[in-house]
C-alpha cells in the first residue's frame, strides 16, 4: 500500500491496517514454514507495509501534538 493512501486514513483506520498487515505476515510465515509460499517477496512487502503504517501513525501523533 502506498504512503499517500495511508496518509488519508484516520488513526483508527491506521491501527486496523497495521493489525491486518500483521495477520497477513503471520499467515505468510506459516506458509513459508510449510513450504506452501509461492512468492517469498510478499514477506518483505508486508513487513515494509507494517513499517510504513507505523511511521505514518507516528507522524500523525506528532503533528497533533506540535
Q: Which domain holds residue 9?
A: 3-65
Indicate if the pLDDT at residue 6 is higher than 90: yes
pLDDT digits (tens, 9 = 90+) for 8-65: 999 999 999 999 999 999 999 999 999 999 999 999 999 999 999 999 999 999 987 7
By the 8 A CB rule, do 9 and 17 touch?
Answer: yes
Number of domains in the chain: 1
Q: Tell me the pTM.
A: 0.90
pLDDT digits (tens, 9 = 90+) for 27-40: 999 999 999 999 99
Element (H, E) at 46: helix 41-65
Which pLDDT score, from 0 to 100, does residue 66 have? 64
User: Which domain CATH number covers 12?
Assistant: 1.10.287.310
Amino acid at each position: 500500500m502506498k504512503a499517500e493512501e495511508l496518509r488519508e486514513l484516520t488513526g483508527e483506520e491506521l491501527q486496523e491496517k497495521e493489525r491486518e498487515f500483521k495477520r497477513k505476515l503471520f499467515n505468510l510465515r506459516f506458509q513459508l514454514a510449510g513450504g506452501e509460499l509461492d512468492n517469498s517477496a510478499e514477506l518483505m512487502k508486508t513487513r515494509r507495509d507494517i513499517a510504513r503504517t507505523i511511521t505514518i501513525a507516528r507522524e500523525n501523533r506528532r503533528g497533533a501534538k506540535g
